[in-house]
Amino acid sequence: MALNNLQYESIIRGYERTRDLNRKLLEERREYVYDRIPSYQELEASVSSVALAQARSLLEGNDAAIAQLRSSLAKISIHKKDLLREAGLPEDYLEPIYTCPECEDTGYVLSPDGHREKCRCFRRQELALLYEQSNLQEMVSKENFSTLSYEYYHGEDLTRFQNAVRISQKFAENFGNDYNNLFFYGTVGTGKSFLSGCIAQELLKQGHSVIYFSSSGLFEALARYSFDTKSKETLYNFYKDLYNCDLIIIDDLGTEVTNSFVTSQLFACLNERHLRRRACIISTNLSLEELRDRYSDRIFSRITSNYTLCKLTGPDIRMHKKRTANSLNI
């Protein structure tokens, strides 16, 4: 599921625009400082003359020239910071400006083994482009903790929903520190997908990569790429995203046509993400008994052992809202 050339070039142009804007902002700051603090500009101009003098001294046999240069430059740097601070400006006011300090607005960083790889900010943009069709952005705009309501739940249904909300909020709050997975199950229209959307919005705001798939959409895509001999690279990148993104949401498990291919792909996804300690949220209308009967024992064991199970029950809220809307339009 790699970017096409137009998508890649669009992201790269975005980085170029960001660098241009930040350079322009830095130049505006520099002009402001020069106008307000003339001695600051004089100090900056003195750096080259000090360096030149020490270079001459070094050529003349002064072995201490390098140490003297470092000492002189350190004093100039301290003096410059003092001038900025006295003018009511931050000490780093004229430091290079980066929207993403990790990659310095290039989109790429060096991995621990020295290889050039995409920065997290690049991956967020890439995933946003690749998975527009999943309607994740539209989903989280409507389904988030700020729009959460308990008015449709009563008794035991309310208790279960409140417990699921607490678990969801804790999951989002501790996401960067704790490895956890969630399994929402129960009757139709009781808030399972809604809570997945709430969590997705919180993690997107934190800068995490989130991929959302309906269960049928996920396995249709996997089948399409797997059985197309021309899509080997696309399949490789699809798996790479599937296994490595910070969070994957699989919605409505059980709505797909289940067969040996689906079962093996589902287990591979759950197993690989567990080994890599990458979180997963699954929602389904299946009961635990139906889950066990429909999928392999390995999948049932993986979910019941490694996921926090949240059962939701109650009326179908979507149908209730639809009936209410229809009655208002009469």
Q: Of 253, 249, 273, which Cα lies nearest the Cα of 262?
A: 253
Specify the CATH architecture of the domain 131-329.
3-Layer(aba) Sandwich (3.40)
Give the pLDDT of the chain (330 residues) as one tens digit per residue: 456 677 788 899 999 999 999 999 999 999 999 999 989 888 888 877 777 776 777 676 776 767 777 788 788 888 889 999 999 999 999 999 999 999 999 999 998 888 898 898 888 887 777 655 455 666 776 777 888 888 889 999 999 999 999 999 999 999 989 999 999 999 998 999 999 999 998 988 887 888 888 999 899 989 988 888 777 877 887 888 889 889 999 999 999 999 999 999 999 999 999 999 999 999 999 999 999 999 989 999 999 999 999 999 998 887 766 665 555 555
Q: DSSP string of 115-160?
A: -EEE-HHHHHHHHHHHTGGGTHHHHHHHSSGGG---TT--HHHHHH
How many Cβ atoms are within 10 Å of 316's Cβ, its own excluded? 14
Where would I find the beta strands (DSSP E) of the chain?
108-110, 116-118, 182-186, 210-214, 247-253, 279-284, 308-312
Q: What's the pTM? A: 0.64
Q: At residue 244, what are phi and psi to the nearest 5 degrees?
A: -110, -15
**Rg of the Cα atoms in the chain:** 28
Question: What is the distance between the alpha carbons of residues 81 and 90, in angstroms, rounded to a whole number?
Answer: 8
